[in-house]
Each structure stands twice: as structure tokens, then as C-alpha cells.
Chains A and B, each alone.
Chain A
């Protein structure tokens, strides 16, 4: 269970690198979230994230920071991928928001999602509590080595039981997760449509290998995800929508080929804002 793995785990140097950049990204999210106030636009929030991370040495991205406010957190009325990009939507009191960023730092990639709310919103609290169940479900079933497509469907079923809509289906290929890896550091790191070319190259090469070997770096509801979890790092991003309110988390899941279930899969870091929040709620 996710809650029991709070014991600090000895990480290899590589995993430590990934954890550091994930921490950095979550620090950025918390710092930016603290600065958000009424009237701030999505574009401004995205720029704040970008500048905060650039000041700390981030030069390349898996994807550029996103920010969604209000009913855009539930991707209301999204039809084309361009709608994911930040708009001039202004934050108001009580509005939910999501910050999503994927910085590459010293060659390590993180991809995180941070959900928050400007002021109290009991519905948003409910969604965050419901997300915690998905975090546990995903880890449990990955450890059971269930095919990714089936896990996806179990997450779907849990969402239906909770009364939510599956909003990660709106992501490209409807993915709930995707693989991330190390990225070569280059002096020039261009991006197309918000995605870093280096990271895309990694994903494409994974996709090619996977295609030959019968797996995919994209964890989707489709047949190409009908295989057991593949060792590596997966950025898992279940996204709930309930009418005009959406919430997600995104963090790295480590999958290994160990036979010990505890070691076969674990969340890279259990000291993250949404995890602490759940622990506090359960302790209360």
C-alpha cells in the first residue's frame, strides 16, 4: 500500500536524480500556487512556473508548464489539443486550478500535476480525497502485474463508482500515464507544440522498441497497452472531472523487475503535497 511505503527507501543514484527534479517541480508548484490570486490569468501562471524553474537551472522540458483554471480543470468542451494551452482565463475566488509541468534538470525528467483551489471549496476537497484511492489502486494492481489496459479499466470503474468522469481520456491517446527517462543535455533544446524535442525523441525510440517487443510507453485504454507493466519510470496522471471541477495528481511510479512485490513497484517519493494531505486527513 502506498501509505505503508513511507519508510525512506535506499535509492540508486539515478532514482535520486529523478526524485530531486520531482521535488523541485513540486516546490515550484507550491510556490506558484501561493502567489496565485484573483485576476491572475492561466498564461501568467504558466509563465511564473517557467521562470521559477529557469531561475533554478531548468533548460529543457518534457513539456512546457500548463495551467488550467475553473471548468478548464475538467477540460470542459475540449475538442482539439490546442485547447490544453494556457489562455487568458482569470482566476476567481473558489475556483479550482491545476498546474502541470515537466521540467528536465541535469538530464532527469519529472512530470507533475498539482491541483489546488483559490479559497475553500468542499467539492474540490472531495475530489482530492477520491484521487487518493486511485493512487492506492494503481500501485496495488501494478504490483500484481496486471495488464496496463485492465488497470486502466479498473481506474475507470472506480471513477464511475465515485461518480466522476475520466478526464485523462482527453489527453493525447487517452493516456493515464507515460514513460519518462533520462534526456541528453544539449546546448540547444527546442520544443514543438510545447513538447521538448529531446524528450519526444526518447518517447519515440521507446515506442519503436515497444512496438517490436509488444509493449508501449503510453498507458492507454487501447490494445497496445494490453501488456504487464514495463520496468522503468512512469509518470502517472489520473485526472478526475466532476461537472465543472477537475483534479489530478501526477508523479513518477518506479516499476522494477524485482520479484519482491514491495520492490517491484513503488512511488518515487511519498513526501508530496497531495500525499501529505491524505495522510493528514486520515490521521484527523
Chain B
């Protein structure tokens, strides 16, 4: 238990103190200036306070960060006897003792992960802590009382859906039953399981190998089994029916959590009015795997409550806000059409937006409107995506000034129409430079930054329905888009292991400015103008709004879809490409009436 002496793995420069309470001695670490608002981070099972080291590091310049080892874990001592020593009442005593020691005058911002969150729900809902908690961020740990009520509500009227929800959560809780076995879990943890655990979670939970878990793991895990034995059965049998939060609550849900169903939180607004929801596409241990985003959300939520309750209540209304609030999104081709609509959709969801286009007026306008619809920050960058040097400069600037991009949308594209024989080499080069090389530069530069950060992300490439429909009139455009589609699929395979998703969006005919700038190879200048107007009017009559494509982009990121046809014609063509390619070949021979 004491091998982990000194300052603790990853908690460099921490001030340590011991707090005595209820027969145990808690090890408390503090980082940052004590005059700043206090954030108390509570760890879960089987963890110690070092689980928070990456998050604490990112909060220490803005907060007084306090971490403590829960009784029986890390370098805190265990109660004697163990049975009955881990009840939620005693854990609440511990929290109050720590809070009084580190922040006697001001309430603290509470953050819990896993069992830390289960405890913290108790802290945030019992009367004796009222006035001591300024805000509460819950990650992957429901209140046992709420959970009991959740089960009761579903058992009370067991519709098939509700039964499925109950069975789903019960199956995810297999380890809870296992931990109730006497003796065996302790033996396993102190024996082979404790030895294999770091390798096991590195593989199953994708934890980076960075000196975590700490060597105290076997005894932490053995003691912590009593968290379950002392509380689960008691609370599920006799839940408190008045467990209403007396502090504002933010709920961060990792959607890939193997232990907790998202459905558990369905009724949470009832218990925590004004609940703020945040979703992360990650597995259970987000304080290790996504420290940047977790720290950003904790800080944003706590600081907003620090300024007063009013300032915090202007939350964006978009259903995607829980996914994209505060995240950095870069969209190319954002001065018009689908790119602009996508930038606005992300802005509406509260994302920080970088709009990139070669039209300087257009991007400035996009950034300005993005701020008006809800982006906390938005920037317009005038860059030609086909220019490698310019893109490298942009990537360096974005990384230095705005941060690592969470969602990259490679959307910039131009259209060239006309038969293959009519299309001069110059037009070929132009269309490939923008449509294909633009995407390659984007993926290479920003994708690399994402992969190096190692905290996930998403890349969306705008292909087209023309990527799976050959035609005699759009050879250059279709070729470039087919390449983008294949590039996306390959990259998706390559980046899947790093938690980075790649999606290809394939819109059909969408009413955008692409026709107004299209080149019709083999046509004279005035003929060009006539054809553009005519195509523009046809697209106008089709009148499929780019906003719907933008919606599909956001949905694709949330669901991590690989290929997303948008518009009925795109769906139809994709269906044909799978089941009736001969029909597509016949279609391809028809000369369009332009």
C-alpha cells in the first residue's frame, strides 16, 4: 500500500495532507493556487486518486484542485472492520471532512467518476451537505437511489422496451454480482487478476500505458469490494425517494461504457433540474482516455456557476449540444452551401468553429453568423485547400492558437462537367487538386494531429452520389469523388484503433452555389453562363436544402457512420450500385438534357 510513496504517479508538485475522520486517515493532494475556486475530484473502483492525474494537470492553472484517496484506497487507511465501513453515510463524512479542510469558507465544485460519482450523488442529494457543493459533474456513476427508482418504474409497468432496458443494464452489471461473492474477489485481485489488470484494461478499455494503475491496485480493489457489499443491496431494496440534487449537475456520459447503459439516465431531469448533458464517444475510463475534453467541460461548467446561476442558463437548444458543446470543429469550403450550413449546425450545438475557404468575405461572414447562433468562438480562415504549403501553415496555426481539432469536415469541392474527351488536362488537374488533394491535405495534417493527441476525434469527407454512379457527363467530378469515398473507407480502417471515426457523406442534388461556379468543359464562355444558369435553376427546382446535409453530417459523427447517402436519389443510386450495377451502367450512357 505504501509503495506509492512520494508525490504519487503523475501528480507532480502536489501538496499533501492527511485528514482524520471517523477512524480513518485520508490522503489528500492539492494542486494549484488555494485562492482559486476549489474542485474536488473523487475516484472510482478499482482506482485511486491518480486516475485523475491527467485531468488535474489540465485544471490546476484555473482551479484549486483537490484529490483524495477514498477510504481503503491508495494511501488512505482502511476502516476496521471492513464490513459496514464503506456505507454512503461514512463516505459523506469523509467528503465533508476533506471539504472543510481544503475549502472551509467556500462551497466546492465536485467531480466524480465511477464509484466516485455514485458517492458524489449521495453528497449532492443529502441535506447535510447543502451549501457545501457549488456544482457537481457526474461521470459514469449513477445514484443508487435513482437507479433503484429506475428499476422500480420499469418493473411497475414492464412493456417489452422497458424489460429490454432492465435486462440490458442487468447484463452490464455482471461484475456487481461477482463482487458480492465472499472472499473470492479479494483472492483474485491480490492474485492473478491484480497482476493482469493493467494489461487487461489497456487492451479492453484502450487506456494509454502511462504508469496507471498504481501499484496499490490489488489492495484498493480488494477493499473496494465492500463499497458494493455495504451499499448496493441496501439501497436497491430501500432507496431514498427524496434524492433531489441541491446543486447544479452536469452529466458526462461515455457512450461506449461497457458497465452502464445510457438509458439509466433517461429520467434524470426529474432528480436534477436544469441538468446539463454531455456525451463522449469513448469507453468507461474517460479521465484517462479523454482528459482534454473532460477537463474542458468540468472547467466550463464550474466557471459558469462561479459567475452566478443566471449566466449559466443560456444553453444551446440543439439536440446535438450534448455531443459538440465546446468542441473544436474545422470545416473547409465553409463560405457557402453544405460547408456553411455544416458550420452553422455545429455552431448551433455550441461547438467552436474554424471556417476555412478561399473566399475571404464568405468565411468572415460564416464565422460572424456562427457566433450569433451559439458558437462560443468562431474564426474564418482564408486558405485554398489545394495548396499544400498554405494548408500546412493553417494546420500549424490552428494547433497553436485554437487547439487540436475534434471534428474535421473536408467539404471543399468544385464541379467540372463535360465528357472525358472534352475535358482538358487543366480542368482535370483543378478538380483533382481541390476535391481529392484538398481532402488528402486535410486528413494528413489534421488527422495526424488528432492521432498524435490520442484522444479520439472524427473526420467527415464530403464525397457525392456521383461517387457510385458513373456518367458520361461528369467523369472528372465523379472520379474525384469516388477517390474521396475510397480514401475515407481506407482511413476509417486505419484510424479505427485510435478512436477516430471517418465518415463519407454522399449527397445527391443539393441546392448550393456549386453550379454557379461549375466549369462545363468544351463549352464557349457565353454557353458556360447559360449552362450554369440552367443547372442552377434545375437545382433550385429540386430545392434540397444544404441544412439537411449538415444535419446528416452531425448525425454521422454521433453514430460514427461509414458512408452516408443524403437525398432520396443518393439512396437510390447506392442501392442500385449494390444490387443492380447494370442499371447504373445503362443510366450512365444517357446524355443529360442541358
Contacts and interface: CB of A to CB of B under 8 A. Distances in A.
B336 interface: yes
Nearest to A156: B540
Nearest to A121: B372
Interface in B168-227: none
A187 B365 CA distance: 53
Contact of B365 (A123, A157, A162, A221): A162
A169 interface: yes
Contacts of B545: 165
A55 interface: no
A221 B540 contact: yes
A163 B365 contact: yes
A242 interface: yes
A160 interface: yes
A224 to B, nearest CB: 14
A122 interface: yes
Interface string B539-552: 01001010100000
A163 B366 contact: yes
A161 B516 CA distance: 12
B344 interface: yes
B513 A122 contact: no
A221 B543 CA distance: 12
B578 to A, nearest CB: 32
Interface in B359-388: 361-362, 365-366, 368-369, 372-373
A123 B336 contact: no
Contacts of A161: 336, 361-362, 365
Contacts of A162: 365
A211 interface: no
A118 to B, nearest CB: 15
A162 B340 CA distance: 11
A126 interface: yes
A126 B336 contact: no
Interface in B514-546: 516, 536-537, 540, 543, 545
Nearest to B370: A163
A126 B367 CA distance: 13
A126 B372 contact: yes
Contacts of A165: 545, 547
B145 interface: no
Contact of A242 (B336, B369, B537, B543): B369
Contact of A163 (B340, B516, B536, B537): B340
A52 B366 CA distance: 41
Contact of B543 (A126, A153, A169, A243): A169
Contact of A243 (B336, B361, B368, B373): B373
A160 B513 contact: yes
Contacts of A169: 543
Contacts of B361: 161
B94 interface: no
Most chain B CB within a 10 A radius of its CB, from A163, A165, A221: A163
B348 interface: yes
A122 B344 CA distance: 16
Interface in A155-201: 156-157, 160-163, 165, 169
B20 to A, nearest CB: 52
Most chain A CB within a 10 A radius of its CB, from B348, B373, B516: B373
A163 B543 contact: no
Contacts of B536: 153
B419 to A, nearest CB: 28
Contacts of B348: 243
Interface in A107-164: 122-123, 126, 153, 156-157, 160-163
Contacts, number: 33
A123 B372 contact: yes
Nearest to B543: A169
B512 to A, nearest CB: 8
Contacts of A126: 368-369, 372
Contacts of A156: 540
Nearest to B340: A163
Task: Give the interface SS of chain A, mostly helix, strand, loop or mixed.
Answer: helix
B360 to A, nearest CB: 13
Contacts of B366: 163
A240 to B, nearest CB: 12
B369 A163 contact: yes
Contacts of B373: 123, 242-243
A160 B344 contact: no
A162 B336 CA distance: 9
A241 to B, nearest CB: 10
Nearest to B359: A161
A149 to B, nearest CB: 10
A222 to B, nearest CB: 10
Contacts of B336: 160-161
B344 A163 contact: yes
Most chain B CB within a 10 A radius of its CB, from A161, A221, A242, A243: A243
Contacts of B547: 165, 243
Contact of A122 (B340, B372, B516): B372
B365 to A, nearest CB: 6
Contacts of B513: 160
Contacts of B516: 157
Contacts of A153: 536
Contacts of B368: 126
Nearest to B533: A153
A26 to B, nearest CB: 27
A242 B516 CA distance: 21
A243 B344 contact: yes
A157 B511 CA distance: 12
Interface string B287-315: 00000000000000000000000000000
Contacts of A157: 516
A161 B337 CA distance: 10
Contacts of A123: 369, 372-373
Nearest to A163: B369
A168 to B, nearest CB: 13
Contacts of B362: 161
Interface in A56-75: none
Interface string B415-453: 000000000000000000000000000000000000000
Contacts of A122: 372
A182 B537 CA distance: 35
Contacts of A243: 344, 348, 373, 547
Interface string B345-365: 000100000000000011001
A122 B543 CA distance: 29
A242 B366 CA distance: 12
A156 B344 CA distance: 19
A122 B373 CA distance: 9
A48 B336 CA distance: 40
Most chain B CB within a 10 A radius of its CB, from A122, A126, A156, A160: A160
B519 to A, nearest CB: 19
Nearest to A245: B373
A120 to B, nearest CB: 12
30 contacts: A122-B372, A123-B369, A123-B372, A123-B373, A126-B368, A126-B369, A126-B372, A153-B536, A157-B516, A160-B336, A160-B513, A161-B336, A161-B361, A161-B362, A161-B365, A162-B365, A163-B340, A163-B344, A163-B365, A163-B369, A165-B545, A165-B547, A169-B543, A221-B537, A221-B540, A242-B369, A242-B373, A243-B344, A243-B373, A243-B547
**List of 7 A-B pairs having minimum Cβ-Cβ separation, nearest first:** A123-B372, A163-B369, A122-B372, A126-B372, A160-B513, A163-B365, A163-B340
Given A126-B368, A161-B361, A221-B537, 14 more contacts: A126-B372, A153-B536, A160-B513, A161-B365, A162-B365, A163-B340, A165-B545, A165-B547, A169-B543, A242-B369, A242-B373, A243-B344, A243-B348, A243-B373
